[in-house]
Amino acid sequence: MGQVIYIDKWLSQKKEKEVIFLATKLRNIIDELSVEIEPKPYFLSIEEMNELIDATPAAENKLTSLSEITDILTETMISLDVLGHKIWADKLGDIVGEMFIGTNENK
């Protein structure tokens, strides 16, 4: 007589073997490419930003007008968009837009 095979158990074992195979393959690719698995923050910490600011002469750090600030924010917005962070770019764009409208209303 033939062996009884329970389809649910067989599928479960097959999926488990496939997951193990794919996990091993992924681990090998990561090792080959020397990819770091530890996540790193995308943005600089406050301490890192302060270090960058401290490394620059004080006169170069001062923004003297709202226009200079909006220029920097606009450049940052474009960079975010180019990097594929459309949601953050859009949020920053909204802020810059409000600043621009506010500047024209206050004059």
Q: What is the dihedral of CA 99, 100, 101, 107, to 10 degrees?
A: 100
Confidence (pLDDT) at 17 = 92
Confidence (pLDDT) at 78 = 87
Task: Extract the tokens encoding 50.
Answer: 């302060």
Give Cβ neighbours of residue 53 (< 8 Å, ≥ 6 apart).
61
Confidence (pLDDT) at 96 = 85
Give the predicted TM-score (pTM) of the model: 0.40
For the chain, the C-alpha Rg in angstroms (whole number) is: 26
Confidence (pLDDT) at 64 = 76
pLDDT along the chain (107 residues), means of 10: 81 91 88 72 68 61 76 86 88 85 61
* End-to-end CA, the chain: 93
89: amino acid identity, one letter: A
